[in-house]
């Protein structure tokens, strides 16, 4: 079975509690459950990481192929706009990667309009709430099949 690494960046552990007007009431557990359902329907396994620490995210990306991940689904959250280290890690592993965001980052504050990660990804999906993750996983399944 093919394995996809799912990375949730900083503060996503607070989904359902924080800024509900932007992120809604869906929890991280509900997102992971929806991803498990799609993965199960498509004969894919998932490894999850939620981290508020940039270095931990970089380490997990760097070990993705060693851990038999054939693709990455990532919501780098605030690191989207600031992390050259995560960008370089994604570029270094050279496996299909899709960036996702719950909110539409291009309709928010100006500093959120640039993603340092997107240029080294196969694509980016934003603005569809929990469904951004589901659409991103479906895109990855298409890429790896």
User: At 107, which CATH number?
Assistant: 3.40.50.9100
Residues of the domain holding 110: 2-144
Please state, in angstroms and rounded to a whole number, the distance separating the CA atoms of residues 141 and 20.
30
* pLDDT reading at 117 higher than 90: yes
Q: Specify whether 23 is catalytic.
A: yes
Q: What is the pLDDT of residue 114?
A: 83
Of 101, 106, 133, 142, the active-site residue reads 101
pTM: 0.93
Q: What is the pLDDT of residue 24?
A: 67
* Residues listed for the chain: 145
Q: Specify whether 133 is catalytic.
A: no
Of 8, 23, 79, 133, the active-site residue reads 23
Contact between 50 and 11 (Cβ < 8 Å): no
How many domains does one find in the chain? 1
* pLDDT reading at 139 higher than 90: yes
């Amino acid at each position: 079975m093919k394995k996809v690494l799912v990375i949730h960046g900083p503060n996503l552990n607070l989904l359902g509690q924080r800024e509900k007007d932007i992120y809604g009431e869906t929890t991280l557990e509900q997102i992971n459950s929806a991803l498990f359902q799609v993965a199960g329907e498509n004969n894919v396994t998932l490894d999850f990481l939620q981290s508020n620490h940039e270095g931990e995210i970089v380490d997990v990306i760097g070990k993705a192929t060693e851990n038999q991940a054939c693709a990455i689904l990532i919501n780098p959250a605030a690191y989207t706009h600031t992390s050259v280290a995560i960008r370089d890690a994604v570029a270094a592993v050279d496996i299909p990667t899709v960036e996702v965001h719950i909110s539409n980052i291009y309709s928010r504050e100006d500093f959120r309009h640039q993603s340092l990660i997107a240029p080294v990804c196969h694509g980016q999906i934003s603005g569809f709430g929990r469904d951004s993750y589901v659409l991103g996983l479906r895109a990855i399944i298409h890429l790896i099949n």
